[in-house]
Amino acid sequence: MTIQRIEPGPRMSGAVVHGNTVYLSGQVGHEGDDIQAQARTALAEVDRLLAQAGSHKSRILQATIWLADMADFAAMNPVWEAWIDPANPPARATGEARLAAPGLKFEVIIVAAVD
């Protein structure tokens, strides 16, 4: 089986396709934006990368969300719920973590099936 690397860089790829599965790197918003703006920006990047891989948010198998502060959980959920395909919600976990930059509040990691 071949491995396709989407947007490879010196440290990581934006996504990697192996077989019928695509693995996205963590997607974040813009430092300093509020939690909802960061979530919307990151989820738009998920859409873009999934499209490049030949997939779609309706094909997401698993999502892992990291928040810099769990106090943002309630504010983030409406953005997530408006974005996901309601007929095909993925398995999801949300936790708190120190993110890569101090102004980041949201990061999402996606695993999806490829059409």
Percent of the chain with pLDDT over 70: 100
68-82 pLDDT tens trace: 999 999 999 999 999
DSSP state of 57: G
Using DSSP, how many helices (H) and how many strands (E) does the chain show?
A: 2, 7
Element (H, E) at 39: helix 35-53
DSSP state of 77: H
Q: What is the per-residue pLDDT for 115?
A: 82
State the average pLDDT over residues 49-66.
Answer: 98
Output the CA torsion sign for 70, 34, 15, 18.
positive
24-52 pLDDT tens trace: 999 999 999 999 999 999 999 999 999 99
Tell me the whole-structure pTM to 2 decimals. Answer: 0.95
**Cα-flanking dihedrals φ and ψ of residue 24, to 5°?**
-95, 145
